[in-house]
Structure 1
Amino acid sequence: MAGRGWAVFPIMPGRKWPPAWHTKDNCAGRGPCAAGHVTPESLATTDPEVIARVWSRAPYNVAVFPGKSGLHVVDCDVRKPDEPAGPDGWAELQELAARRGGPLPDTWTTTTPSTGRQLWFQTPPGCRLASTVKHIAGHVDTRGWGGYALAPGSVRADGAYELFDDTDPTQLAAWLVQANVERAPTAVSGRREKAVAAPDAYISAAVRGEVDRVVSARSGTRNRVLSTAAYALGQLVGAGLLDETYARTELRAAVATWNTPDSWVKDDGVIDTAMRAGADNPRRAKPRSGTRRAA
């Protein structure tokens, strides 16, 4: 693993979890923390001398910290025996790929003792993706910054982690980046809870106008154009004229046409910040009553 440039950390033989680790608040400042508080993720290493010295002491399991290694791992779990019948994580991920337009590319893949599978991808340049739990699907977790995955050869009491596909890790697809960073719809209350009546055509035209401006934005202007569009749609959301989830989906689809997945995390932050600012300053203008016919 370290030979691939992947940062590793020892896990006690037969176990899945790292040793209990203290927090910064109760750090004693001794041992590895003598020069300041550290975490297993910060201690994970690719140094062959350190690795040889540590693993000579015991047949430790190998934890890979994906974020530090430029990786993102998609962990597909199986359904538990007490769960009702339904798709497992692998089936859910395939369904998600089909719905998002996929594809789900071949990549370096391992299997877990519970017969689940973990897909290892390269993180696109500029992306810093956190770990998630049941975020992109009910039985799919992801391992990025703040998380780790056990490497093939690691053993638990119920079985071993094994290599399933030795294809070199491919870059995380744009639709998977997007699924990882999407936020759940924000709950609203008070004046935003009840939508104000307005013709669908009026709102649709407003959304389409902003989305078209984002799609056609030239490099160097995109951040400003996206912020302006998100603010305008946020004003409609704040006025109860537009569904927030729909607005976000349309803006993210527009950003996807730029084909710049390395900036999607930043772009999603722009959408979130600008929409919230717009919602705090809701638009009160209504469409004119009646329509005009062309002469």
Structure 2
Amino acid sequence: MTAFPIKHVDAGELSIAFADGGDPHGEPVVLLHGFPYDVHSYAEVAPMLTDAGFRVIVPYLRGHGPTRFLDPGIPRSGQQAALGADLLAMIDALDLEQPILAGYDWGGRAACVVAALWPDRVGGLVTTNGYLIQDVSGSTAPLSPQLEAGFWYFWYFATERGRRGLELNRREIAEVIWRRNSPDWSFTDAHLDEVAHAFHNPDYVDVVIHSYRHRLGLEPGAPQYDELERRLASRPPIAVPTITVDGLADGNFPASDPSRDAHLFTGPRDHRLIPHAGHNLPAEAPHAFAELIVDVAEPPGDGAGTP
């Protein structure tokens, strides 16, 4: 993201660091990364969108890169409600008018949270792997063994051995996850090194460990998010215009029938499949991902273009 300046804004619990590019008066798009990744997932997508006239904002999520907590006493929560609250606070702090939200993994979950609970604040949504809001109270329900095997790090992080492993091996754990998540993606050591800088945030380990332990029901959420989590437990529907997308080479979340979660999208919804793309879809298929954002911003018949 070296082409865009990194700025900072105080928003909610955080001083959020974000890349900001394009026409400041253009339609805003917020691009949200996952774990274990960072803003470089959008290194190619962002310039395509600014060329198409959008203002593009790419924040570092809590616990990543230069983003910092404002109060040393605030719990270093990684739960879904915290990620959604961070995103809403940033939208408010930057005075963004109905931005398009797009993301995958943690970032897609944050985008889904805001789109579901505050639809009047959102112009449209692009989310990988469908509807990502979780009913944490149902966390004890097992998945298929094949899917559970891909979540090895959930169980690793549930142990103190896993916490210590993450402290010592941040880059190495990311590499193992990347290779499983994206078997067709030929990333370089230099690219991984560049992204791994974001993992040296002082809150990275605490936020990541809490995220996975909370979703497994092993740690409570931060009290300030109890009401938000109660609302999310009902899995509220998303009414804003949405494009959901699956990569056909996603080693962690195989492409699924969109009818499975159709009842959770009550507004216009389209579903796309991207060949040869894995879990880090914007980095692996940047042109296709940029097109999704253009399409959700300008529905058919409104003159949608191609970045």
Task: Please state which band the TM-score falls in when normalised by the shorter chain.
Answer: under 0.3
- TM-score, reference length from structure 1: 0.21
Normalised by the length of structure 2, the TM-score is: 0.21
Q: Determine which structure has greater relative contact order: mean sequence separation of CA pairs < 8 Å that are 6+ residues apart, divided by chain length.
A: 2
**In proportion to residue count, which structure has more helix?**
2
